[in-house]
Structures are given as structure tokens and as C-alpha cells.
């Protein structure tokens, strides 16, 4: 009996040490992104002092808000070892649908937000059902729904454009207004990020997302509700994409059928650059949000330095490749470190 208890204690100590090691790696990754962001801002400010003006800083955070919001939802999906490539088309569909809904009417902002999130939830649930219950590869499913949703949006729009003059001021205020000097959009994103981050880290059901992504076979043997968690991840991604669609309309006012076209790749880049492992089981929404802020800041820097906008996509792709390579190297080092730790503890 004493031997069994000792063995359990040893295994628990090894597992705790393993979690601490992984947490340390994650913190180091996020701190390195923050350091890169600080260096980028300092160097650009030295070249152009107006870069850190009040309006310049506000624009960066406003532009990063929608991308960071999508990155939070994408993180939940990627952690489970899946991907959602349909988020950009969902944003476009919801932005146009919300514009049509308020066209000529002074709709309640909360009602518009609920409508947008409901449309996003339906899109996310379709993805989740196909991936979790029908076991169709996530890449195939979400690539398919990307084109289906995009096609529906184009068919519905028929070249029509929603103009800012047709959008109620109450909704436009959501995109340009602020409270205590803090714009609404970054505030909404931070609240969502903190809520999702707290859930994933502090609730047992939240930790199951990581367990599923780390080792799906072990999670299945442990009796975890894998299908339910994957379905939940896609539903959350869809809901946040729907919310982002309404905020897109509030931010820009003018919306066409191809709004947020190509943003799915930016979202994936932000998530992976932010330290979320593309193979699942590792990463945080905070890192993903930092990745979104870094990519947005790079775009603003290129504009300030009058560099061709082509380089923004090129740099994002380069950072994506670099992040995946770093993840692979870190993954191998962490695995070796955990094995040595387990051997020392007799696990």
C-alpha cells in the first residue's frame, strides 16, 4: 500500500514538473513576442516620431482588435488539433447580413450583435458536426465551408454595397466610440480574451481541450468527451467570428461581399506566431492575441515607412514558417526534457 502511494506521489510530481516546464516554455515564447513588439515600436518611432502619437496607437489597437478576436476563437480549435479556415468568410457574411438588417432601421445594437453571433454559431456548428461526428478532416471541411459561405455572400450581395450613411449611428459608435478614453473594440476583445483564457486554464472542461490536442488516443481512453469538446471549439470560433463580423461593420461602416477576404490565413498566422502549436495541445489565447498585435503593428510600420503593402503578407508568411520551425524544435526539446525528468522520478 505504501509502495503504491509513493509511486502515485512520484508520478504526480513528475506530471506537475512537466506542466511547469511547458508553462515556462509558453511564457518564454510570449515574452519573446512582446520583446519583438517593443523593439519594432522603438525602432519605428526613432525613424518616425509620429508613429506613437495618440491617434497612431489607437489605430493600431483598433485594427488589431478584430484579428485578435478571431485568433482567440481559432486558438480553441487549433488546441484540439484542428483548424478553421472559414472564419474570414463568416466575418464577411455576418458583416453584410448585419448591414442589410440595419439598412434603413435604427436597430438595437445588442440585437444586431446577437444576430451576428447566431449566424456565426450556425456556421461553426456545421463545421463542428462534420469534423467531430462525421470525422471529415478539418482542413477539407473548413476549406469547403469557406467557399460555400463566400459563394452565398456573393449571391446575396449581387454587387451591392452597404454604405456607412445607411448604418445607424448607434452601431457606428461601437466601432469608433470609447469609454474613459479606451475604444470599445479593444475593450471587447480583452474581455473575451480574458474570459476564454480563464476558462481554458482554470476549468477541468477547459483543460480537456489541451488533453485532446496533446494525445487524442489517451484522451479517448480516459473517457473525455472528444466530440463534444471539438464541437464546442468550432461553435465558439463561429460565435466570435460572428461577433467580429458585426464589429467589422461598426468599425468600417462600408461593407462589400468580400469583406475580410483572405483573413483566415492572417488568423492562422497570428495564432501560430503567438505560440499556439499547429499540432495541438499547446498555447494560450494571450499569445495568440499578442501574435495578432504583432502582425498588425508590422502592417502599420510598413505604412509609416512607405514600404509596399505586398511585404506585409510576405513577412506574415515568413513569421508563420519561423514559428512552426521554432515550435518543432521546442517540442522536441520539451519531450526530451520530460523523458529525462520521468526517468529521474522513476515514472
- The pLDDT-based confidence of 9 (bands split at 50, 70, 90) is very low
The pTM (predicted TM-score) of the whole model is 0.88
Q: Is residue 10 part of a domain?
A: no
Classify residue 23: in a domain, yes or no.
no
* Averaged pLDDT of the chain: 87
**CATH number of the domain encompassing residue 67:** 1.10.3470
- At 264-285, the pLDDT tens digits run 989 999 999 898 988 888 889 9
Number of domains in the chain: 1
Q: Is residue 188 assigned to a domain?
A: yes
pLDDT of 347 over the 60 cut: no
Residue 9 inside a domain? The answer is: no
Q: pLDDT tens digit string along 91-130?
A: 999 999 999 999 888 889 999 999 999 999 999 999 999 9
The answer to whether residue 25 is domain-embedded is: no
Residue 299 pLDDT greater than 90, yes or no: no
User: Can you give the pLDDT at residue 4?
Assistant: 46
- Residue 338, domain member (yes or no): yes
181-195: burial string, b at 16+ Cβ within 10 Å, e else: eebbbbebbbebbee
- pLDDT of residue 332 exceeding 80, the answer is no
Phi/psi at 182 (nearest 5 deg)? -100, 120
Residue 8 included in any domain: no
Widest distance between CA atoms in the chain? 76
Residues 278, 271: Cα–Cα separation, whole Å: 9
Please indicate, yes or no, if residue 259 is contained in any of the structural domains: yes
pLDDT, tens digit (0-9, with 9 covering 90-100), for 40-75: 888 888 888 888 888 888 989 999 999 999 999 999
Look at residue 78 and tell me whether its pLDDT is greater than 60. Answer: yes
Give residue 56's pLDDT. 83
Decide if 112 contacts 171 (C-beta within 8 A).
yes
Residue span of the structural domain in which 147 resides = 55-344
- For 177-217, write each residue's pLDDT tens digit: 999 889 999 999 999 999 999 999 999 999 999 999 988 99
Each residue of 308-347: b (16+ CB within 10 Å) or e?
eeeebeebbeebbeebeeebeebeeebeeebeebbeebeb
pLDDT value, residue 11: 38
Amino acid at each position: 500500500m505504501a509502495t503504491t502511494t509513493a509511486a502515485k506521489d512520484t508520478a504526480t510530481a513528475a506530471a506537475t514538473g512537466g506542466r511547469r516546464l511547458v508553462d515556462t516554455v509558453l511564457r518564454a515564447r510570449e515574452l519573446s513576442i512582446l520583446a519583438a513588439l517593443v523593439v519594432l515600436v522603438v525602432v519605428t518611432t526613432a525613424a518616425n516620431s509620429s508613429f506613437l502619437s495618440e491617434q497612431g496607437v489607437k489605430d493600431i489597437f483598433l485594427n488589431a482588435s478584430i484579428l485578435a478576436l478571431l485568433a482567440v476563437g481559432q486558438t480553441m480549435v487549433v488546441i484540439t488539433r484542428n483548424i478553421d479556415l472559414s472564419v474570414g468568410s463568416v466575418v464577411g457574411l455576418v458583416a453584410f447580413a448585419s448591414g442589410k438588417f440595419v439598412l434603413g432601421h435604427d436597430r438595437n445594437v445588442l440585437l444586431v450583435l446577437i444576430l451576428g453571433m447566431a449566424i456565426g454559431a450556425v456556421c461553426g456548428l456545421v463545421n463542428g458536426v462534420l469534423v467531430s461526428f462525421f470525422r471529415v478532416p478539418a482542413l477539407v471541411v473548413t476549406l469547403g465551408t469557406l467557399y460555400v459561405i463566400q459563394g452565398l455572400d456573393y449571391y446575396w450581395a449581387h454587387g451591392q454595397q452597404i454604405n456607412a450613411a445607411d448604418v445607424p449611428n448607434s452601431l457606428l459608435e461601437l466601432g469608433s466610440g470609447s469609454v474613459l478614453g479606451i475604444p470599445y473594440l479593444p475593450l471587447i476583445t480583452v474581455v473575451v480574451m480574458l474570459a476564454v483564457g480563464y476558462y481554458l486554464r482554470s476549468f477541468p472542461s477547459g483543460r480537456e481541450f489541451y488533453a485532446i490536442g496533446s494525445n487524442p488516443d489517451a484522451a479517448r481512453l480516459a473517457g473525455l468527451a472528444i466530440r463534444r469538446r471539438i464541437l464546442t471549439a468550432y461553435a465558439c470560433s463561429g460565435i466570435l467570428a460572428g461577433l467580429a463580423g458585426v464589429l467589422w461593420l461598426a468599425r468600417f461602416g462600408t461593407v462589400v461581399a468580400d469583406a475580410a477576404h483572405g483573413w483566415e490565413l492572417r488568423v492562422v498566422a497570428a495564432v501560430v506566431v503567438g505560440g499556439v502549436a499547429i499540432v495541438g495541445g499547446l498555447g494560450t489565447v494571450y499569445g495568440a492575441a499578442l501574435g495578432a498585435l504583432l502582425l498588425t503593428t508590422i502592417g502599420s510600420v510598413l505604412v509609416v515607412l512607405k514600404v509596399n503593402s505586398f511585404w506585409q503578407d510576405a513577412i506574415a508568411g515568413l513569421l508563420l514558417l519561423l514559428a512552426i520551425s521554432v515550435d518543432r524544435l521546442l517540442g522536441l526539446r520539451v519531450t526530451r526534457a520530460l523523458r529525462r525528468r520521468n526517468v529521474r522520478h522513476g515514472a
